[in-house]
Amino acid sequence: MVKTGRRPVSPAAGVLWGALAGLGASLALTALAALLLQKQLIGETAIGPVNIAVKVLSAFAASLVCCAAVRHKRVLLGGLAAFVYMFSAFAAFGLILGRFRFTPALLCDLAMAAAAGLLGGAAAGLFSKKG
């Protein structure tokens, strides 16, 4: 375990905190996008790109929160946190809608989230003060 502040944080706890932060970021960004659509500040043609941006930014947020708690293997754990975020988001919505399936779109989104998480972990490692 690695100590951050006063409480020790295990890598598993860091990944879970990161995934929860990603879910929160996804919820907030989706609500913001819906508000912008309702106010007609963005058009309906922007839904696809906005959806991708929400996923990437949320995966990046999951990675950064994980890397803030864990000091070692940040790139790997950041990618894992983003992967867990994306899988849990798909699982939650799949269970709500009653149709969770492994599709090529899911696999692409998981790979995209993992890539964003790896980049977030690398950025956290590069810009951290404590190595």
Please provide the size of the chain in residues: 131
In a domain, 96, yes or no: yes
- Whole-model pTM: value is 0.87
Q: Could you tell me if 36 and 103 are in contact, meaning their C-beta atoms sit under 8 angstroms apart? A: no
In a domain, 85, yes or no: yes
**pLDDT tens for the 131 residues of the chain, in order:** 555 455 658 999 999 999 999 999 999 999 999 999 999 899 899 999 999 999 999 999 999 999 988 878 889 999 999 999 999 999 988 888 888 888 898 999 999 999 999 999 999 888 876 64
Burial of residue 67, with CB atoms counted within 10 A of its CB: 0-12 exposed, 13-18 middle, 19 or more buried: buried
- 1-21 in b/e burial notation, b at 16+ Cβ within 10 A? eeeeeeeebebeebbbbbbbb
Query: Three-class SS of residue 3?
Result: strand
Number of domains in the chain: 1
**What are 50-78's pLDDT values in tens digits?**
999 999 999 999 999 999 888 788 899 99
In a domain, 130, yes or no: no
In a domain, 44, yes or no: yes
Which residues are paired to 9 by β-bridges? Answer: 2
